[in-house]
Amino acid sequence: MKLRTGLLLGAAFAAGALVGPTSAIMAEGFGWHLLPVAWAQDSGHSETYRLLTLFGDVFERVRAEYVEPVDDKELVENALNGMLTGLDPHSNYMNAKSFRDMQVQTRGEFGGLGIEVTQDNGFIKVITPIDDTPASRAGIKTGDLILALDGQSVQGLTLNDAVDKMRGAPNSKIKLTIKREGVDTPLELSLMREVIKIQVVKSHLESNDIGYIRVTSFSEQTDSGLRKAFAQLKEQAGDHLHGLILDLRNNPGGLLDQAVAVGDDFINEGEIVSTRARHPEDSQRWNAKGGDITGGLPVVVLINGGSASASEIVAGALQDHRRAVLVGTRSFGKGSVQTVIPLPGNGAMRLTTARYYTPSGRSIQGLGITPDVEVQETRAEQPHFGPEREADLKGALRNTGGVAATDAPPPRTDLPPMAREVPKLPPENWPTFDPSKTDTDFQLQQGLAVLRAMPVGKHAAR
């Protein structure tokens, strides 16, 4: 099975087997003496050998003296997961079931509640509820902390264990206990599980001449879905589109190849993204193959603090190429690449193997993408409980290897003059946001205003 590179924020709905020198020390723990003598005698490896021997001793002591019998497989899997999750917030171990679940998710369909989650100080933190799922209908919000499932605390559970508990047969109920910033007492929410079929691309026309496409994640269907949506919008508008809004807000990321494909949909030539790995020969670069599907129409991209990873690749590429104007707030700042590596026993590990860089050479790790036109969602100060962005996560990678500030691209001079006058905050009397009413979406409305002020390219399809 080939490796698959992904850029999904955290370890949302994902989570092998033992390999390398550790296999030998574990085998010795079971009474098998497989550790190569020559390797053990190599003074260059003496410290590693000592630490692996310590691991084997602890393993045997737990097996022999823990208060209750423990499963060897569970001990090994916990040790593997601890080794990987201790590296950074996005590396982790997946047993066979978790690996299958991850593969289902990247195909765009899975069972459960419809929440993208990560782990935060022992609790489960909501990255974003997925549109039109039990979670979104129940009012679960980005930043909510899940404290308990069916009355049982999530502390002590791995992220994958917690996700397993949230999944279940369709039409079965589960109760979530949630801590929300600004609310004194925990919230109790009862949800009915469903088969979650993620509609990763949604679209409609605004005022009959502006296309709106929302991309909720980068799964295997994203690029084809976006192309299909644009063709439909063009047809509905009678082939007279003025421009396109690409909404990447609260999009946690997904597959790298899909991010490249979406970027390629709007860029005629040049780099889309590059990755730099530990070994220079493993670094890669992806270039546009040509063929802007819009024919040069003006594009505005909406981003916010929930836009991460693959979303940031697309936003950064379009910004660097001056192909789109970015409107909203600073993105999450996840600039690392995870490779899913299948392991013997049908499990896999997700390992951070590279950092990615925008076409101008920017690393957005911990920094995020700054919009060209800053527009807040609401006037009210948004409280945050726990980490807000990548840089706040324990063990987050440092931002290294990017272009120096002196080499950064110059400030944009191609923005419409009115962009300087776009209000950052909605007026006092702005209506409460209602997802079903686009006129309550302040960021979208300002994006539309910017888009209408942008000139249609001379090669635009009309």
Catalytic residues: 309, 320, 334
CA Rg value for the chain: 24
Q: Indicate the DSSP class of residue 373.
A: E
Dihedral (CA of 276, 281, 285, 286) sign:
negative
Q: Which of 306, 273, 309, 319 is nearest to 414 (CA)?
A: 319
Q: Is-contact 230 213, C-beta < 8 A?
A: yes
Q: Which residues contact 32 (CB under 8 A, 6 or more apart)?
A: none
Q: Are strands 325-328 and 299-303 parallel, antiparallel or unpaired?
A: parallel
Beta strands, E only, 185-324? 187-192, 194-197, 201-206, 210-215, 243-247, 271-277, 284-287, 299-303
d(CA 199, CA 188): 28
- Residue 421 has a CB neighbour count (10 Å cut-off) of 9
Give the strand pairing for 299-303 and 284-287. Answer: unpaired
| Largest pairwise CA distance in the chain | 76
Encoded tokens for 38: 């020559």
- CA proximity to 247, closest of 304, 294, 289, 305: 304
